[in-house]
Chain A
Amino acid sequence: MTDISQFQSRRDWLLSNQPASRLQARLGRAYMIWLSFSANRLALVGLAVILGLLLVALFAPWLAPRSPFVGDLANARLLPPGTDGYLLGTDSQGRDILSRLIHGSRLTLMVVVLVAIIAAPLGLLVGAVAGYAGGWIDAVLMRITDIFLAFPKLVLAMAFVAALGPGIENAVLAIAITSWPPYARMARAEAMGVRNSDYIAAVRLMGASPARIVIRHIMPMCLSSLIVRVTLDMAGIILTAAGLGFLGLGAQPPLPEWGAMIASGRLYILDQWWVATMPGIAIVIVSLGFNLLGDGLRDALDPREAGK
Chain B
Amino acid sequence: MAVIDATEGSGRRRARFLKPLSGVLRFAVVILTTYLGLLAVTFFIGRVVPVDPVLAVLGDRAPASAIARVRAEMGLDLPLWQQFLLYLKQVLSGNLGNSVLTSRPVLEDVMRVFPATLELATFGTIVGTAIGIPLGVLAAVKRGSITDQVVRLIGLAGYSIPIFWLALLGLVLFYAKLHWVAFPGRIDVTYEYTFTPITGMLLFDALIQREWDVAWDVFRHIVLPGCLLGYFSLAYISRMTRSFMLNELGQEYIVAARAKGLSEQRIIWFHALRNAAVPLVTVVALSYAGLLEGSVLTETVFSWPGLGLYITNSLQNADMNAVLGGTIVIGSVFIALNLFSDFLYRTLDPRTRVK
Chain A interface residues (CB < 8 Å from chain B): 143-144, 146-148, 150-156, 158-160, 162-164, 235-236, 239, 242-243, 246-249, 259, 262, 266, 269-270, 273, 276-277, 279-280, 283-284, 287-288, 291-292, 307-308
The reply to whether B331 and A151 contact each other, CB–CB distance below 8 Å, is: yes
Chain A residues, Cβ within 8 Å of B157: 284, 288
Q: Are A280 and B165 in contact (CB under 8 A)?
A: yes
Q: Which residues of A contact B335 (CB under 8 A)?
A: 150-151
Q: Does B262 contact A (CB under 8 A)?
A: no
B175 shortest CB reach to chain A, Å: 9
Q: Nearest chain B CB to A169's CB is how many angstroms away?
A: 14
Beta-carbon contacts under 8 Å, B26-47 to A = 30, 33-34, 37-38, 41-42, 45-46
A246 touching B296 in the complex, CB below 8 Å, given contacts A147-B33, A152-B331: no
Within 8 Å by CB of A287, from B159, B296, B316, lies: B159
Q: What are the 4 tightest A-B residue pairs by CB atom distance, in nearest-first order?
A: A147-B37, A280-B165, A287-B160, A163-B49
Distance to closest chain A CB from B311 (angstroms): 7
Q: Is the CB of B56 within 8 A of A163?
A: yes
Q: Please give, as numbers and ranges, the residues of chain B lying within 8 Å of A235 by CB-CB distance.
A: 159-160
Which residue of chain A has the shortest Cβ distance to B50 in the bound complex? A163
Among A144, A148, A152, the residue within 8 A (CB) of B330 is A152
Pick the residue among B45, B46, B289 that contacts A152 (CB under 8 A): B289
User: Among residues 284 to 334 in chain B, which have CB atoms less than 8 Å away from a CB atom of chain A?
Assistant: 289, 292-294, 296-297, 300-301, 311-312, 315-316, 318, 320, 323-324, 326-327, 330-331, 334
List the B side residues contacting A249 at CB < 8 Å.
315
| Chain B contacts for A279, CB-based, 8 A | 165
Given A155-B296, A155-B326, A164-B49, the answer on whether A284 and B160 have CB atoms closer than 8 Å is yes
A235 to B292, CA, bound (A): 20
Q: Provide the residues of chain B in CB contact with A144, threshold 8 Å.
A: 37
Smallest distance from the beta carbon of B56 to chain A beta carbons, Å?
A: 7
Tell me if B3 is interfacial: C-beta within 8 Å of chain A.
Answer: no
Q: Is B176 an interface residue (CB 8 A)?
A: yes
Q: A246-B297, A262-B165, A291-B156 are in contact. Are A269 and B37 (CB under 8 A)?
A: no
Point out the residues of chain B lying under 8 angstroms from A248, CB to CB: 316
6 sample A-B contacts, Cβ–Cβ < 8 Å, listed by A number: A155-B330, A159-B42, A160-B45, A270-B176, A280-B169, A291-B156
Contact A307 B243 (CB under 8 A): yes
B246 in contact (CB, < 8 A)? yes
Q: A154-B293, A247-B312 are in contact. Are A262 and B168 (CB under 8 A)?
A: yes
Residues of B near A159 (CB, < 8 A) are: 42, 45, 323-324, 327
B197 interface hit (Cβ, 8 Å): no
Using A247-B315, A269-B172 as known contacts, list a sample of 10 further A-B pairs with CB atoms less than 8 Å apart, ordered by residue number in A: A152-B293, A156-B327, A164-B49, A235-B159, A236-B159, A239-B162, A246-B164, A270-B172, A273-B172, A292-B156
Q: Is the CB of A259 within 8 A of B162?
A: yes
Q: Tell yes or no: B99 within 8 A of A by CB.
A: no
Note all chain A residues with C-beta closer than 8 A to B331: 151-152, 155-156
| A155 to B50 alpha-carbon distance, docked (Å) | 18
Chain B residues within 8 Å of A, Cβ to Cβ? 30, 33-34, 37-38, 41-42, 45-46, 49-50, 56, 156-157, 159-166, 168-169, 171-172, 176, 243, 246, 289, 292-294, 296-297, 300-301, 311-312, 315-316, 318, 320, 323-324, 326-327, 330-331, 334-335, 338-339
B168 & A162 in contact (Cβ 8 Å cutoff): no
How many A-B residue pairs lie within 8 Å, measured between CB atoms?
135
- Given A163-B49, A164-B49 in contact, is the A243-B164 Cβ separation under 8 Å? yes
**Chain A residue with Cβ nearest B173:** A273
Q: Which of B37, B162, B316, B339 contacts A283 (CB 8 A)?
A: B162
Give the Cβ gap from A88 to chain B, nearest Cβ, in Å: 15
Contact present for A262 and B334 (CB under 8 Å): no
Q: How far is the CA of A208 from the CA of B334 in the complex (A)?
A: 43
Please report the C-alpha to C-alpha distance between residue A15 and residue B293 in the assembled complex, in whole angstroms: 49
Partner of B315, one of A143, A158, A164: A158
Smallest CB-CB separation from A146: which chain B residue? B34
**A151 proximity list for chain B (CB < 8 A):** 38, 41, 331, 334-335
Whole-angstrom distance from the CB of B35 to the nearest CB of chain A? Answer: 9
Instruction: Evaluate whether A269 and B171 lie within 8 angstroms (CB atoms) in the complex, with A155-B326, A246-B162, A287-B160 already known.
Output: yes
Rounded to whole angstroms, the CA-CA distance of A148 and B163 in the bound complex is 24
Q: Once the chains are docked, how many angstroms separate the CA of A247 from the CA of B334?
A: 21
Contacts of A153 in B (CB 8 A): 293
B161 contacts A284, C-beta separation under 8 Å: yes
Return chain B residues, CB-CB under 8 Å to A243.
162-164, 296-297
Instruction: Indicate if the CB atoms of A155 and B160 lie closer than 8 Å.
Output: no
Q: Cα distance A279–B162 when bound, in Å?
A: 10
Give the one of A143, A146, A152 with max B CB within 10 A: A152
Cα distance A179–B315 in the bound complex, in angstroms: 22
The answer to whether B315 touches A276 (Cβ under 8 A) is no
Contact call B323/A158, Cβ cutoff below 8 A: yes
The smallest C-beta distance from B224 to any residue of chain A, in angstroms, reads 14
Docked-complex contact A143 and B33, CB < 8 angstroms: yes
| Cβ–Cβ contact A152 & B292, under 8 A | yes
Compute how far the CA of A228 lies from the CA of B338 in the bound complex, rounded to whole angstroms: 25
CB distance from B155 to the nearest CB of A (A): 10
Shortest C-beta distance, A43 to chain B (Å), equals 12
Shortest Cβ distance from B289 into A: residue? A152
Closest to A160 in B: B45
Query: CA–CA, A276 to B169, complex, Å?
Result: 9
Contact, CB under 8 Å: B311 / A155 = yes
- Chain B residues, CB < 8 A from A288: 156-157, 160
Contacts of A246 in B (CB 8 A): 162, 164, 297, 300
What's the least CB distance linking B340 to chain A, in Å? 11
Smallest Cβ-Cβ distance to A144: which chain B residue? B37
Q: Which residues on the B side are within 8 Å of A164 (C-beta)? A: 49
Shortest Cβ distance from residue B169 to the other chain A in the assembled complex, whole angstroms: 7
A262 and B327 contact, CB distance less than 8 A: no
Q: Is B162 a contact of A242 with CB atoms below 8 Å?
A: yes
- Do A162 and B323 touch (CB < 8 A)? yes
